[in-house]
Structure 1
Amino acid sequence: MAAHHGCLGPRSEVCAPGDALMGLLDLLRRRLRMEIAWLGRLDGGLLILQGLSGNAQPFGLALGCTIRRDAGVFGRVLAGDLPELIPDTRRNPRTADIISVQDLGIGAYAATPILDTDGNLYGLVGCLHRHPQPSLGDRDIRFLRLLARFLTGYVSDLHRMWEIRSRVWHRVHTLIDSDGLRIHYQPVIDLVAGRTVGVEALTRLPDPRLSTAALFRDAAAAGLGPELETAVIQRALPALHALPDDVRLAVNAAPSTVTGGLVELLLDVGDPSRLVVEITEAEQAYDNPDLVAAVRLLRRHGVLIAIDDLGACYSGLEMLLILRPDVVKVDRVLIKNMSGDPVRRAIVAGITTIARETGCRVVAEGIETRADLTAAREAGIRCGQGYLLGRPTPDPRAACRSPFAFSALTRR
């Protein structure tokens, strides 16, 4: 199995298949006690990796990598020149001299073809390990073949899903590569002092008719969420130099973005203690040890950790327990019409009580009316954000001197 050296890695047609496929690949990897499990679709002379389970970096592989059909282990398996399973490639004379075995460091492999519902060859599913696995045997290859037969009824839907998500990939990367992502900054206001204490970096698209939320949702479904969020953050960070020293810059990141290289990016900023990372509730991965470690490291360098949109999902309390944030942002769905809704007021009162007991700061999102502002202040919320207080603007300096904020806070 030789990765084509034109492999695009994470810049190829990267798409994350559905949870069902990933669950099957996880099962295969654990059952055969291998380091990675993969599924690839044949496209002419290439195999395109459409699914990966495990850490593929040591093998130089990534979702979307293209592997030449006429080179390495996998082509010979398809041709019948190699068996579907070899527990020790270095001792087996048929594989010891194959360049891909040496280049990728393959110590053991298992691979078998997948057919589509018409009986045509779709691709391959298999596993790799860097070290020999002498315990692999006939029972393991029988399990692999069984799983391949099960996947026959799934690959047609997988292919359609892949094509749809490939289009998403191209759309996202067109925006990134053409500098089509615009950053606007919205002030976060101290509701008592009436001054700007922070600005949040928000994404805007060149065509205002397009939905930013839909773009991020589609990117996450295509496995591009971390890349898109990181690109946005990279564009936002230079604004830090334009802000007053006492104003923080807040950026949004899903857990997978935080653990995917964001720490290094943020710690390379001159003064990371002026940053806030707002972790979204979009992914339920808060008990991931890597996320907890990343949050701990960021906090050691003075970065504040915020939970974004608290109250929008049921996982907010889990985030509070695991991440112990410095800031909680109450979702606009709770703030809107809170003044006339005792249920909303009770929920917000509970959040502010928890925050007070744990030393968190609270920010009310979506303050759009004077009634929202009054209700937030009466609930004991110190900071707020919303169109009444200041609209997003491409100029970070302008966000710090929003006239909307001061007049809204001082008039009774």
Structure 2
Amino acid sequence: MVGMIHHAPPPAAILAHPDVTLIDGALTAVRQLLDMPLAVLIRFDGADVVLDHVSSHIADTAPPTGHRCPAPGSYWQAVRDDIVPQVMPDTAHDPQAMALAAACPVAFRAAIAVPLRLHGSGAAALFCCLSDTARPMLAGQDHAVVLSFAGLVGRVAGRDPTADPMGRSLRQRIDDVIADRDFQLLLQPIAALASGTVTGAEALCRFRPTPYRSPDRWFADAHGVGLGRALERSVVAKAMEVLPDLPRALTLSINVSLDMLASDDLPALIDGPFSDRVVFELTDHAGVQNPSTLRDRIKRLRQLGARVAVDDLSASYASLSTVLQIKPDIIKIDRTLVRSIHLDPASQALAAGLVHFAQAIGATVVAEGIEHAQEARCLRDLGVSHGQGFLLGRPGSLTALQTRTYLT
């Protein structure tokens, strides 16, 4: 199953090992961590893409390094341009991605592809994990694992994202976004599945600068140039300004990274009359480096009345490990598990297990990405109490949320 650990060497061990290169070692480690058969580093070279490094669990079937093909119209260019998402659990569910993947010299059906820049030359590249079968459980925490290894390759190999022209430009753009608060917050309802009553909302950040880039890219780039916490602080501060106008009975969920949750920034940002209506959603499960510090930070937030949720929960090792260490107040089931759950007995069994686990630790369960009434009914029958998704309400303005039926 994707995300199950296979005791791959940690980054420090990779660097110390004398007979593997950093890149090859990182590719192998992340491939084993995610239990995927192939990992590759793809470099953009002018109008071409080049397969620079390959790690495969079956050496005889590995594609040849040095293979070159045109970049325009390729799957890799589409990832770089944000045309297809970095996390692709199954190309069969995305006609454009399926067509692009079919034209690749590397056969795959599921992929995580993370853009980075190579040291020295500054060449653009993609750090990719690929599978020839669908991986429906691929989720945000798996993306975080690949992102961390890609960052390791860049940092240790000498990349300083503020030292080259692109890095300076990117840092300046993020500085401007923070200074001008050049983003908006949309509110997506969270509702009780039994009644449809709205009990809370999640604040979703959308950045205004063009060309459009996904929120994940903005936050990843901000952390890459040392502005991650500053950007997150700005978003949390803006979200807190919404609370006085939010119906009194509703909670407001705000996404934060593990780095931000473990910092001492959040208590000061929320301390006040509305702190007991705040839920911090942990969006990445890359690994808790200092559990005792994190628990202390969470304890302080709970003393203020705030709650903690784990977002995108699946059966991956990283996801479950995070839950065990922080014991969240709310567990959010990943949308990849929710999709067509009424047709999949295995997904139903896994969801029921997560509900039982949540009950054991006293956590509320929220299912994300509900788009169909059959999914909502199935989840309700499995014991899931709350849900979120287009069926229950699309992200919108505060005014739109105020028109919904909510607790009083």
Question: What range describes the TM-score normalised by the shorter chain of this pair?
Answer: 0.5 to 0.7
* Number of corresponding residues: 259
CA radius of gyration, larger in: 1
Deviation, structure 1 residue 222: 2.7
Contact 1:181 1:203 in 2 (8 A): yes
1:344 alignment partner in structure 2: 347
1:158 alignment partner in structure 2: 159
Unpaired runs of at least 5, structure 1: 1-18, 25-115, 118-153, 407-412
Check 1:180–1:331 CA distance in 2 against 1; reply closer, same or farther (3 A cut): same
- Alpha-carbon separation, structure 1, partners of 2:310 and 2:374: 24
AA aligned to 2:256 is A
State how 1:152-231 maps to structure 2 within 5 Å: 157-159=158-160, 162-163=163-164, 164-206=166-208, 207=210, 209-231=212-234
- Alpha-carbon separation, structure 2, partners of 1:317 and 1:302: 24
2:267 alignment partner in structure 1: 264
2:309 alignment partner in structure 1: 306
Contact 2:236 2:269 in 1 (8 A): no
1:322 alignment partner in structure 2: 325
SS at match of 1:306: strand
Check 1:241–1:159 CA distance in 2 against 1; reply closer, same or farther (3 A cut): closer
- Alpha-carbon separation, structure 2, partners of 1:262 and 1:159: 26
1:357 alignment partner in structure 2: 360
AA aligned to 1:184 is L
AA aligned to 1:168 is L
Contact 1:312 1:333 in 2 (8 A): no
Deviation, structure 1 residue 302: 1.5
State how 1:11-410 maps to structure 2 within 5 Å: 157-159=158-160, 162-163=163-164, 164-206=166-208, 207=210, 209-285=212-288, 287-311=290-314, 313-395=316-398, 397-402=399-404
Deviation, structure 1 residue 165: 3.7
User: How much identity, in percent, do the aligned residues show?
Assistant: 31
Deviation, structure 1 residue 167: 3.2
Deviation, structure 1 residue 180: 1.0
Q: CA offsets per residue over residues 203-223 of structure 1, 9 Å max, x none?
A: 012258321122122222333
Check 1:326–1:156 CA distance in 2 against 1; reply closer, same or farther (3 A cut): closer
Alpha-carbon RMSD: 3.0
Deviation, structure 1 residue 402: 3.5
Q: TM-score, normalised on structure 2?
A: 0.58
- Alpha-carbon separation, structure 2, partners of 1:388 and 1:155: 45
Contact 1:286 1:322 in 2 (8 A): no
Check 1:159–1:222 CA distance in 2 against 1; reply closer, same or farther (3 A cut): closer
Q: CA offsets per residue over residues 287-307 of structure 1, 9 Å max, x none?
A: 432211000111122111111
